[in-house]
Amino acid sequence: MKLSINQLKESNAFLNNLFENITSGIFLVDKNVRIQEFNDTFKVLFNKRDVEILNGLCGNVIGCIYTVEEGEECGNTSNCGKCCVRTAINRAFQDKKNTLKQVMNRDFYIKDSSINKHLQFTTKYMTYNDEDMVLVILDDVTEIENSKLELERNNKIIQKYNDKIKKELSIARNVQQSLIPYKTPIYNGVKLTAVYKPLYEVGGDLYDFINIDEDNVGIFISDISGHGIAAAMITTMVKAILETSKDLLYTPDKLMENINNKILNVAENMYLTAFYGVYNNKTREFTYIRCSHPYPLIIRDKEVIEIKESEGMMLGVFDGLEFKSHKTKLKQGDKILFYTDGLMETKNNSGIEFNNRVFEIINSRSDKNIHEIIEGINEELVLFKGDQEYEDDICILGMQI
């Protein structure tokens, strides 16, 4: 025999079974807010016997703290006018409007002990035995609500910590920005230009144009493995080493040896790649050293030449390294491009790296000055990556003789 849902609803046996086995506490109140019916779950929820519940006022039965501590009946306490459960019951009687899943937080006396609970309640107007009644469904959601409160507290702690980190990052950014040349310096017979884009608030790339004397200019560029504050601290340290190594600025090999010794094992699992070159304006001789850094590019007579003679190890990892400077003669009109690996390794939406595109851009703009070439590379880089995020700091330097 098939039963329809309406038949089930009209079945007293079905409704009684549902009433007694549902996990929510359920009770019926009359117009005086006295409890006329209730289920076993309700008894367990407030640890009451049948005789303590039947015909009792709602607040007194559930052990509302105001009825207990003020010694008053439910309806006469200082809180009854503000009680959300009582307000919902009255509205159900007066306007036949239901309240759905509202949460009340209050202390209740259960077994003579005050316990704070979060109760989710629903009220529904109905008639029972030809009398107006309100059905109240209660669920103890204390654990859920406490978890929410704990989550909110933790979120506030995290937010406070994040705000502190942001403030520190802002300070670190200002410090790091002070390490970068405020404006591109002008040297006799040499044009210089730069583009720098840190991945985060603070980055791991560092560059400097160093006015050694009236005939010599130094170009330094480096890249720390990693990003963020740790990388920024290393760049600050490297900048300090440069500032205190005036006597080594003429000799790239000695300068790199000094940097390596100073930052050796300073930060675990971090290392530095770097390039340093000194250009003499009288002899046009360029003395340089490369320490695992990308090869500089010389643009000469519409030809792109990679400077590959120098093969140095990364800095800050190995002790006792031997460093050797190399020399090359530059010509009038030569343009040299220095960069960190973030430039070549930037990817577009298809996962293709910018590497080959750089050479195409240089070849198409080889007759332009170094500033226009670098600006062109930067513009094409932005278009190339599309909506992809940068995965590394970007630093591009240029020198033109």
77 class by beta-carbon count within 10 Å (0-12 exposed, 13-18 middle, 19+ buried):
buried
Alpha carbons 39 and 137: distance in angstroms, whole number: 10
Give the model confidence (pLDDT) of 247-269 as tens digits: 999 999 999 999 999 998 777 77
Cβ atoms of 38 and 28 closer than 8 Å: yes
Residue 176 confidence (pLDDT): 66
What is the CB neighbour count within 10 angstroms for residue 320?
8
How far is the CA of 241 from the CAs of 179, 233, 256, 278, in angstroms? 12, 12, 10, 17
Nearest to 335 by CA among 356, 363, 357: 363
CA 118 from chain centre, in angstroms, equals 33
Residue 372 confidence (pLDDT): 93
Give the model confidence (pLDDT) of 78-133 as tens digits: 999 999 999 999 999 999 999 999 999 999 999 889 999 999 999 999 988 788 99
Structure token pair of residue 304: 């792109």
Alpha carbons 101 and 360: distance in angstroms, whole number: 65
Residue 203 confidence (pLDDT): 63
Residue 43: left (phi > 0), alpha (psi -120 to 50), or beta? Answer: alpha
Cβ atoms of 227 and 203 closer than 8 Å: yes
User: For the chain (length 401 residues), average pLDDT per consecutive 10?
Assistant: 47 57 90 94 94 95 96 96 95 93 95 94 90 94 93 93 80 70 76 80 80 93 80 85 93 95 82 94 94 92 84 86 92 94 83 84 89 91 79 86 91
What is the CB neighbour count within 10 angstroms for residue 284?
15
Quick one: what percent of the chain has pLDDT higher than 70?
90
Tell me if the pTM is above 0.75: no
Alpha carbons 172 and 158: distance in angstroms, whole number: 20
Nearest to 306 by CA among 355, 354, 240, 345: 355
Phi, psi of 320 (to 5 degrees): 70, 25
Alpha carbons 173 and 228: distance in angstroms, whole number: 10
